Amino acid sequence: MLVQEADQILQRALQENGPDTEVAFPNTAYYLPLVFGMTGREVQTLGDLVPVIEDAKRLLRPVPADRRWTPYLGETLDSGIATLLAEETIEAVRFIYGLEPQRVPGLELAGGTAFTSPDANGDGQAAGNGHLNGPIDDIQLRSWGIQLVDGRMPGFAAIVGAAKSNEVAVKIVRELQQRNILTFLAGNVNGRSIIHQLQEEGVEMGYDTYIVPFGLDTISAIYALGFAVRSALTFGGMKGGQAREILHYNKERVFAFVLALGEVDDLKYATAAGAINFGFPVVADTRIPQILPTGVTTYEHVISMPFNEIAAEDDLGRAEKLVQKCIEVRGVKVRVTEVPVPVAYGSAFEGERVRRADMRVEFGGKYSRAFEFLRMVDMDEAEDGKVEVIGPGFDEIEDGGAMDVGIVIEVAGREMQQDFEPVLERQVHYFVNAASGLQHIGQRDIAWIRISKAAAEKGFDLEHFGKILHARFHADFGAIVDKVQVKIYTDPAELEKWLETARDAYDFRNQRLADLTDERVDEFYSCTLCQSFAPNHVCVVSPQRLGLCGAYNWLDCKASYRINPTGPNQPIRKGNLIDAEKGYWEGPNEFVYQHSNQAIEEVTMYSIMENPMTACGCFECIAMVIPEGNGIMVVSREDPSMTPAGMTFSTLAGMAGGGLQSPGIMGHGKFYLLSPKFISADGGFKRVVWMSSFLKESMADELQEVAEREGDPDLIDKIADERDATTVEELLPVLEENEHPALTMPPIF
Amino acid sequence: MLQRADSLGLDTAFTRAEQMAPCPIGANGQCCKVCFMGPCRVVKDGQTGVCGATIETITARNFARAVAAGAAAHSDHGRDMAFTLKAVAEGETQGYKIRDPFKLKKLARDLGISTEGREVGELASEVADVCIAQFGQQRGEVSMAERAPENRKKIWRELDIVPRGIDREVVDVLHRTHMGDDQDPEHILDQALKTSLSDGWGGSMIATDISDILFGTPAPLVSQANLGVLKDDEVNIVVHGHEPTLSEMILAAVSDPEIIAYAQEKGASGVSLAGICCTSNETLMRQGVPSAGNFLHQELAIMTGAVEAMIVDVQCIMQALPNLADKFHTEVITTSPKVKITGATHIQFDEHRALDIAKDIVRRAIDNFPNREETAIPDVVADLVPGFSHEYINYMLGGSFRASFRPLNDAIMSGRIRGVVADVGCNNPRATQDAAHNYLVRELLKNDILVVETGCGALASGKLGVMLGEAALEWAGPGLREVCEATGMPPVLHLGSCVDNTRILTVLTQMVEEGGLGDDISDIPAAGIAPEWMSEKALSIASYCAASGAYVIMGITNPVEGSELVTNILSAGWEQKLGGKIDFVVEPEEMVSQILEHIDKKRAALKLPEYAPKRFGQSGDWRMEDLVDGPLEERQAALYGAVSS
């Protein structure tokens, strides 16, 4: 039925626009991802969609007879895939007509797919006003990658329909948020969607809150499955057309489920049949036929929990049980840390913003000072769980006002080392942010914290910072931390004194970091966290080269190894040096060979040209050689523009990821750019001829230091970016005009 | 129909069975007639034949010879299919083509033939050559044995029972059971195993694969079974025997408009084709040609007076047919070069002129229509859904993209399905026709056992009406019902004719490969039964199933009853060596209890949860019955359920 509709829509679009009209989803290198994944077809024009509909028709099977039926499960699953192909076709055509993303007046997204200009979602503010998100872009997929991999984000829920009441709708998404489960919203029941319900209740939606509204109809649920397909392509190293592998990957590794709220119509059934192909079970809050035997999915296929029959005190209790059931059916592994604060708590709240108008009080920023400082103390100096507020609370501060605060965390533990102090301290940002109604930006003495009115009304107070930190340090770093005590200073004299101490420590740490070079350590660390997604990839993390995701530097790995000695971060003895310039050691070579399933034999630490390090898919940047410029370009994940390589980040990512070693192209963390060891074998930072403006701007100071280190203080300005060159032809005159040093360096090949 | 036979004063197998008591000495395997110093009847303790052969040697020899004859019959069927494939590939035939090139490629790969960039015809020709060579191969291993699970092959190789070549093993049995050769019962029976494997993993498997390649791999369709499929107003042609080659052409012929017009000229409203026995299974599985019934229906069909022609090929064709047909207008037509029956018309079939011959035969039947006298077609017919090839079962459980046996394995592991039982084999007039089949199927379904069937057992269930999706709602236990409702499959699956027992081997192998049910066929909670067996082929099937690790129960009679030792070798002895065995059990009640015990034993060995049907039964459409198209409010209430607190 939908296939027919898609066919008609496509035929009309073909007549009106011609077969050569371009079709594409925004910011993805995977064409129409579901079509690409299932059929291998690289749809770029309307005409390319014709065979897709033919595929769908072929897969479509007749509805089973009411009596004397022949088996229907396989047929239903095929029809499900046919439905998905049709849905994606329809969405693609809608993009041509400007009907996607769907408009919803008054909606502001907290982070979303950028549709107009690349800067639109730079800070999450400007993007997505007045419309729904539509498909998730590759950039966001990759930045969520590491969280999906390491279990911080256990999976995603695709909610279709509308909840019994607004109250229930909010409860359901809050429950999911608390468990850090990504929530995708689509569909409606008699015209009313959960998106409307959440909007009415003022729930913030967008990438930053893990709640992504796709569209008001069932068809837009296709974006959830497109996301799933791309997970397999991006992290699993699969290719378009490997349908069976992609579906299995999702069944085994992507913990997702469909939650159908309200009456389930035929289209929802058909879409659900498509989802079941992915191993995603379907849970409905209404009476529908259950499919309990397992096999295509790991646990039950279809569960019906008529909402009113759920045994609980009230509707909120029922919503909670419903979500629990979903998690149980998918076998989602959720780590919930009980944090004793009066507001909801979970990573899904990390991206939540507190706007000035909603703010009760802020610490740091323009109008006040705030710092956080974590230090190691002896076991007998700390009393575990003790939280002290030294100085006045914020009762006296008027609404929207500011005050100074200093948070001093003292930890003790047999396995604790001074080197871990900064590692732990950086966690404060995540831990505090995860409380609903709190916003945390920055670190050290440039921290900036806001508490919303709503949170304050619920009773959130200064001491709760301490409670959060105590609970989370124990939960996440229990292996190295035995005792945690927190002192929160608002008393000016004490605060001043501690700020002094903290700054001394920051300086000391900076020096220590500067001294920490690859030569001075005996061990590097591996990171195989992403092997659950990219089985052949191994990161080798050294003091001067952090992990490509930016999330793990050498110290992080060292701490992680302490926390979990059999975990993904293992020490790699450097062993005999083979080539100091390129960065070959026996130890890393051997380790990588063994742990890449014998796929990679050798790896250099400092070269892009010879056996460069592989990548999973979560890299922050991609460096690629521009032979004409005798240098390399560096494009950041945040940059959706065209590059002189003739490809966008998303397309390049397909070549750089998946654990493949391809000389001339390499994924890396952005701070690696600052390292003296940045492709030092190939000439170092001076080889950078083109760089996303996002990097230039977001790391301006640090890059300036690098330029000076390299003996060319104007170097950064000599490097082109997407504003002056998006082709090689445009790039070369810019380089010549700027007298870029790469032009006079020895040939890169 | 039997009353009709009585009133017309006609003999049938039923009456002849009453009049002819089985020879008690032969029935127990105690009669040795391998040389002409005898025959010797060895009936007393310690007695031997003239040559000194013991009762153990004699029963084992008789058993082995029966296996060899059965294997020869099945395998020769496979050989004929291979020659047909060769002829089709060479473009020498009329009316045939390769219907399943995918399966051809799969078979080619299994046989080690390169498929890349090759034309279907050329590939088919080489596949046919390699298959034909399997029969005459003298050394090494037959290729298809390679398909078995690794652990199984290891056991076979250790026992040295992997067949070297299909024909060679049959000849070997005949040689070693000749007077004065192998006279150690266990050693004789080892060769019987090897010969049976040359059938199950050789000739029969070739027959199944090539039939699918030539006539299409079966997929479910709706059809009917029982004598009621015969038409009062149409020319009825019944195909009977075992091979699909001719019957497929007859089917093509009866659908020819020219032929239909010809029939109408003769006063019939059309031409109706029906099958009996395994030829019926072949055409039923692939084309949905209705079945007039199983083995014991061959005489009854003629007695309806409504059959213009009964066209037979090979195996299980009673010599009584021409005599019986003489009493009616029915013409019995033999077609195989191997089968001529005194009194029947012989029109030899030849692939090169297949369609012409088929049309001639059909015309002959039409010409016979005006001779029809009074008819008595019983008003009994049941719908059924046949067509379960292992390829389809794979698809059924996951669609094009997720096809696998995972859901089936999961269902067994969770206990929704307690186990799988193959109910197969013949009819035997020494017991009430179909009674044992039907009793077993009902009991097994009640116990959440998925039943798969082939041959005449399958047609019994077809007639019973249990090969329907609906049957699960009525007959199956709660867990099995959930699985049937999820997939839409009947609780009893029709896998084909008796050569298609190889499909069961393939299914079991794929279940092992899917994982979770052990490392070998013998680990799976499964069993096979042939409660009404009568042919030598049944003993070959039972032996290769046991050799493959399956527990097999045979009804009716124990052909090695005369020797406790030999009975024991087939049972406990084989179980120890092979993990599979043959028990002879007469009472159906006892079969059920032994099967359940065996299945529960295998479940326990796999550490699967104990069978507990009460945990299941919550799936399905039943909850939707409360939902009516009432006013919105009521509908809403029904959807969300009643408020509980």
Q: Chain A closest CA to B104's CA: distance in Å?
A: 22
Q: Chain A closest CA to B272's CA: distance in Å?
A: 22
Q: Which of A67, A286, A301 is nearest residue B639 as measured by Cβ atoms?
A: A286
Task: Tell me if A554 sits within 8 A of A524, measured CB to CB.
Answer: yes
| The pLDDT value given to residue A618 | 78
Q: Which of A291, A301, A311 is nearest residue B645 as measured by Cβ atoms?
A: A311
Cβ pair B488:A291 closer than 8 A? no
Stated length of chain B: 645
State chain B's mean pLDDT as an integer.
93
Q: Chain B closest CA to A167's CA: distance in Å?
A: 16
- Whether domain A347-500 has CATH 1.10.10.10: the reply is no
- What is d(CA B545, CA B539) in angstroms, rounded to the nearest whole number? 10
Topology of the domain comprising B54-215? Substrate Binding Domain Of Dnak; Chain:A; Domain 2 (1.20.1270)
Q: Which of A286, A293, A313 is nearest residue B407 as measured by Cβ atoms?
A: A293
Which CATH architecture best describes the domain B223-371? 3-Layer(aba) Sandwich (3.40)
Please list every residue in chain B whose beta carbon sits closer than 8 Å to the beta carbon of residue A317: none
Among B381, B402, B495, the strongest candidate for a mutation testing the A interface, having the largest count of A CBs within 10 A, is B402
Residue of B nearest to A72 (CA): B488
DSSP string, A165-200: SHHHHHHHHHHHHHTT-EEEEE--BTTB-HHHHHHH
| The pLDDT value given to residue A119 | 34
Please list every residue in chain A whose beta carbon sits closer than 8 Å to the beta carbon of residue B472: none
Paired tokens of A696: 């230039």
ipTM of the complex: 0.89
pLDDT above 70 for B622:
no
Cβ pair B399:A277 closer than 8 A? yes
Q: Which of A69, A295, A307 is nearest residue B411 as measured by Cβ atoms?
A: A295
B395 contact A CB<8A: yes
What are the residues whose beta carbons fall under 8 Å from the beta carbon of A21, sequence distance 6 or more? A13, A45, A46, A96
Pairing of strands A688-691, A631-636: parallel
Residue of A nearest to B392 (CA): A74
Preceding amide of A101 cis, omega within 30: yes
Mean pLDDT of B596-617: 91
Q: Which of A72, A75, A247 is nearest residue B402 as measured by Cβ atoms?
A: A247
Q: Which of A68, A277, A285 is nearest residue B402 as measured by Cβ atoms?
A: A277
Mean pLDDT of B274-278: 96
SS3 at position A47: helix
Cβ pair A71:B469 closer than 8 A? yes
Among B224, B624, B640, the strongest candidate for a mutation testing the A interface, having the largest count of A CBs within 10 A, is B640
- Average pLDDT per 10 consecutive residues for chain A, totaling 749 residues: 87 89 84 92 91 92 84 92 93 87 81 52 47 85 74 84 92 88 92 92 88 92 92 82 90 88 90 92 88 83 86 88 85 70 84 86 89 90 89 90 94 85 86 90 85 92 92 85 91 92 87 85 87 81 89 85 81 92 93 88 93 87 93 90 88 83 91 93 94 92 92 92 92 92 89
Task: Tell me if A467 sits within 8 A of A488, measured CB to CB.
Answer: no
Q: Identify the helix (H) or strand (E) that includes residue B204.
A: helix B204-215
Please list every residue in chain A whose beta carbon sits closer than 8 Å to the beta carbon of residue B399: 73-78, 80-81, 277
- What is d(CA A397, CA A133) in angstroms, rounded to the nearest whole number? 38
Domain B223-371 matches domain B390-609 at the CATH topology level:
yes
Helices (H), A490-603: 492-515, 554-563, 586-595
- What is d(CA A427, CA A440) in angstroms, rounded to the nearest whole number? 11
> What's the pLDDT band for B285 if we cut at 50, 70, 90?
very high
Residue of B nearest to A64 (CA): B488
CATH class of A103-330: alpha beta
- What is d(CA A541, CA A552) in angstroms, rounded to the nearest whole number? 8
| The pLDDT value given to residue B624 | 62
B564 contact A CB<8A: no
Q: List, for residues B413-452, the tens digit of each pLDDT value.
A: 999 999 999 999 999 999 999 999 999 999 999 999 999 9
Cβ pair A289:B404 closer than 8 A? no
Q: Which of B396, B410, B414 is nearest residue A73 as measured by Cβ atoms?
A: B396
What are the residues whose beta carbons fall under 8 Å from the beta carbon of A186, sequence distance 6 or more? A158, A159, A160, A193, A213, A214, A215, A216, A217, A218, A219, A220, A221, A223, A224
Q: Which amino acid is at A191?
A: G
| The pLDDT value given to residue B633 | 66
Among B480, B639, B644, B645, the strongest candidate for a mutation testing the A interface, having the largest count of A CBs within 10 A, is B639
Q: Which of A74, A164, A290 is nearest residue B619 as measured by Cβ atoms?
A: A290
Residue of B nearest to A290 (CA): B619
- What is d(CA A625, CA A454) in angstroms, rounded to the nearest whole number? 51
Count A/B contacts: CB-CB distance under 8 Å: 153
B625 contact A CB<8A: no
Topology of the domain comprising B390-609? Rossmann fold (3.40.50)
Q: Which amino acid is at A707?
A: A
Cβ pair B616:A292 closer than 8 A? yes
pLDDT above 60 for B121:
yes
> Would you list the domain boundaries of chain B?
54-215, 223-371, 390-609
Q: Which CATH number fits domain A518-744: 3.40.1470.10, 3.30.300.20, 3.10.50.30, 3.90.1580.10?
A: 3.40.1470.10
Please list every residue in chain B whose beta carbon sits closer than 8 Å to the beta carbon of residue A55: none
Please list every residue in chain A whose beta carbon sits closer than 8 Å to the beta carbon of residue B633: none
**Nearest Cα to Cα of residue A3 among A248, A259, A266, A197:** A266
Please list every residue in chain B whose beta carbon sits closer than 8 Å to the beta carbon of residue A287: 623-624, 626-627, 638-641
Helices (H), A639-720: 649-656, 693-698, 700-709, 715-718
**Nearest Cα to Cα of residue B224 among B372, B377, B447:** B377
> What's the pLDDT band for B586 if we cut at 50, 70, 90?
very high
B36 contact A CB<8A: no
Q: Which of B407, B637, B644 is nearest residue A296 as measured by Cβ atoms?
A: B407
Among B223, B385, B388, B400, the strongest candidate for a mutation testing the A interface, having the largest count of A CBs within 10 A, is B400
Cβ pair B640:A287 closer than 8 A? yes
Mean pLDDT of B112-119: 92
Please list every residue in chain A whose beta carbon sits closer than 8 Å to the beta carbon of residue B400: 59, 74, 77-78, 81
Domain with CATH 1.10.8.190 in chain A: 2-96
Which CATH architecture best describes the domain A2-96? Orthogonal Bundle (1.10)
B101 contact A CB<8A: no
Residue of B nearest to A299 (CA): B410
Among A38, A55, A69, A70, the strongest candidate for a mutation testing the B interface, having the largest count of B CBs within 10 A, is A70
| The pLDDT value given to residue A126 | 41
Among B392, B401, B493, B618, the strongest candidate for a mutation testing the A interface, having the largest count of A CBs within 10 A, is B401
Domain with CATH 3.40.50.2030 in chain A: 103-330
pLDDT above 70 for B113:
yes
Paired tokens of A443: 């670190």
Cβ pair A289:B620 closer than 8 A? yes
B295 contact A CB<8A: no
| The pLDDT value given to residue A233 | 85
Please list every residue in chain B whose beta carbon sits closer than 8 Å to the beta carbon of residue A74: 395-400, 403, 487
Cβ pair B645:A312 closer than 8 A? yes
Q: What CA–CA distances, in Å, run from A174 to A187, A195, A464, B260, B323?
A: 19, 14, 20, 71, 83
B594 contact A CB<8A: no
